[in-house]
């Protein structure tokens, strides 16, 4: 894989760390700013909503910029946002700073995926995207625990100073290593928007919402599941989540390699495995050893979906991929929010925690059906019929 991919992966590591590390330092933030834990938890929701809202907004702003320049601008926004987090005098400023930081998230991953795919031959494009997203998985395995430790030892503001420093290094790496010659040129927002007339692009976005949304039906409530059903202590839950993060890293690489071989068949197979793992977890969640093993396999299956889902959008919007690829990052976050909502709905209707994996399996099954339908539309005969109708 080309060296420039390391610069993109480092940036993804920084962005992933700042997104998730807030969960580890949430009690410290709440205590220091004199707000409740639920209020501090809104910093997580604010970031997610910022990603969803900022993705199309920043796509419009950067639509006429060369891709490398757009990446540099987005990393600059990321650095400014994290510095604002570090110096925030109160809760309101911190919330604004988190939203500012989140604006860089969707567009960077969207444009970065297009750049990553352009750096390699066609048969390695999904693996290149997976390489960039490895930074995001490593953020869960290394960045979040390390950032949490720094925040607990030196204060939560120090965490954001460290992330800001990583952002500066990432910006310098992108400037030095990512070649400008892979830029497609300033296509303009009008050209990018026209690609949204393609039904397959919308199908790809819907596949992402469902394909990853099922993961958060369970992941949102993974701590109480592991504590109340599996019998783990809070400290042991942290170790299981590290195991889950390792699974994410393995799955990300595996998903990229499988997608390069056969994109849609691989994606359908991964979604089928994801649904089956969730069905198994409904039973194994009552055993400490079996639940830990299932969580690891679940991590592999969960993130194995990411490279093919992102590659599908880039493939179907190949003439103007920036906006569609960026919107797909927003679709991941929309799936996260919808999955968390569905999980809460299951619990509020009186079902137990062990019902959540069953609901997640249903969502993965729906994603599998939608993916099968999208694959059928790719068939030559169906394509010809669709062209005649249109």
Residue 290 contacts by C-beta under 8 Å, 6 or more apart in sequence? 284
Of the three residues 157, 186, 215, the one that is the final residue of a domain is 186
pTM of the entire predicted model: 0.77
Is 60 exceeded by the pLDDT of residue 90?
A: yes
Q: Indicate if 343 and 283 belong to the same structural domain.
A: yes
pLDDT at 331: 84
**207-98-320 Cα angle (round to 5):** 40
Query: By C-alpha distance, which of 373, 347, 374 is closest to 360?
Result: 347
pLDDT at 134: 87
Q: Indicate if 318 and 302 belong to the same structural domain.
A: yes
Residue 245 contacts by C-beta under 8 Å, 6 or more apart in sequence? 137, 140, 141, 299
Q: Indicate if 181 and 232 belong to the same structural domain.
A: no
Q: Give the least confident one: 8-22, 186-200, 219-233.
A: 186-200
Neighbours of 328 (CB within 10 A): 28
Q: Indicate if 180 and 248 belong to the same structural domain.
A: no
Number of domains in the chain: 2
Q: Indicate if 251 and 324 belong to the same structural domain.
A: yes
The CA distance from 238 to 224, in Å, is 12
Q: Indicate if 275 and 215 belong to the same structural domain.
A: yes
Query: By C-alpha distance, which of 360, 136, 361, 106 is closest to 248?
Result: 136
Q: Indicate if 171 and 248 belong to the same structural domain.
A: no
Is residue 11 within 8 A of residue 174, CB to CB? The reply is yes
Is 90 exceeded by the pLDDT of residue 163?
A: yes
pLDDT band at 162 (very low <50, low <70, confident <90, very high): very high
We report the CATH number of the domain holding residue 369 as: 1.20.1250.20
Count Cα neighbours of 130 within 13 Å in the Cβ-side half-sphere: 26
Q: Indicate if 72 and 149 belong to the same structural domain.
A: yes
Q: Indicate if 164 and 84 belong to the same structural domain.
A: yes
Residue range of the domain that includes 174? 1-186
Of the three residues 186, 205, 235, the one that is the final residue of a domain is 186
Q: Indicate if 231 and 349 belong to the same structural domain.
A: yes
Mean pLDDT of 215-233: 85
% of the chain beyond a pLDDT of 70? 93
Of the three residues 145, 167, 186, the one that is the final residue of a domain is 186
Is 70 exceeded by the pLDDT of residue 301?
A: yes
Q: Indicate if 134 and 263 belong to the same structural domain.
A: no
Q: Indicate if 6 and 98 belong to the same structural domain.
A: yes
């Amino acid at each position: 894989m080309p060296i420039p991919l390391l610069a993109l992966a480092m940036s993804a590591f920084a962005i992933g760390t700042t997104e998730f590390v807030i969960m580890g330092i949430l009690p410290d933030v709440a205590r220091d700013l004199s707000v409740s834990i639920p209020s501090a938890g809104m910093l997580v929701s604010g970031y997610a909503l910022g990603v969803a809202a900022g993705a199309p907004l920043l796509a419009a702003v950067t639509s006429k910029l060369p891709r490398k320049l757009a990446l540099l601008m987005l990393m600059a926004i990321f650095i400014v946002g994290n510095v604002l987090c570090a110096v925030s005098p109160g809760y309101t400023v911190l919330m604004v700073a988190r939203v500012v930081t989140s604006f860089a998230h969707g567009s960077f991953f969207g444009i970065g995926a297009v750049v990553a795919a352009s750096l390699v031959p066609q048969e390695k494009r999904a693996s290149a995207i997976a390489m960039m997203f490895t930074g995001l998985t490593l953020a869960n395995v290394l960045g979040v625990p390390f950032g949490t430790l720094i925040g607990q030892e030196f204060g939560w503001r120090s965490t954001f100073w460290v992330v800001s420093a990583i952002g500066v290094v990432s910006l310098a790496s992108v400037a030095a290593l990512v070649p400008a010659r892979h830029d497609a040129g300033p296509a303009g927002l009008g050209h990018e928007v026209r690609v949204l007339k393609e039904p397959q692009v919308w199908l790809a976005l819907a596949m992402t919402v469902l394909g990853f949304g099922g993961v958060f039906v369970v992941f949102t409530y993974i701590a109480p599941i592991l504590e109340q059903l599996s019998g783990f202590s809070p400290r042991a839950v942290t170790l299981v989540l590290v195991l889950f993060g390792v699974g994410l890293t393995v799955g990300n690489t595996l998903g990229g390699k499988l997608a390069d071989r056969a994109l849609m068949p691989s994606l359908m197979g991964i979604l089928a495995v994801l649904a089956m793992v969730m069905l198994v977890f409904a039973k194994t969640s009552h055993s400490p050893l079996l639940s830990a093993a299932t969580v690891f396999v679940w991590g592999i299956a969960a993130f194995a979906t990411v490279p093919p889902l992102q590659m599908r959008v880039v493939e179907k919007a190949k003439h103007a991929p920036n906006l569609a690829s960026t919107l797909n990052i927003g679709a991941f976050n929309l799936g996260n929010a919808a999955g968390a909502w569905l999980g809460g709905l299951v619990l509020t209707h009186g079902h137990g925690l062990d019902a959540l994996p069953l609901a997640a399996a249903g969502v993965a099954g729906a994603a599998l059906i939608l993916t099968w339908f999208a694959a059928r539309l790719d068939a030559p005969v169906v394509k010809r019929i669709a062209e005649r109708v249109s």
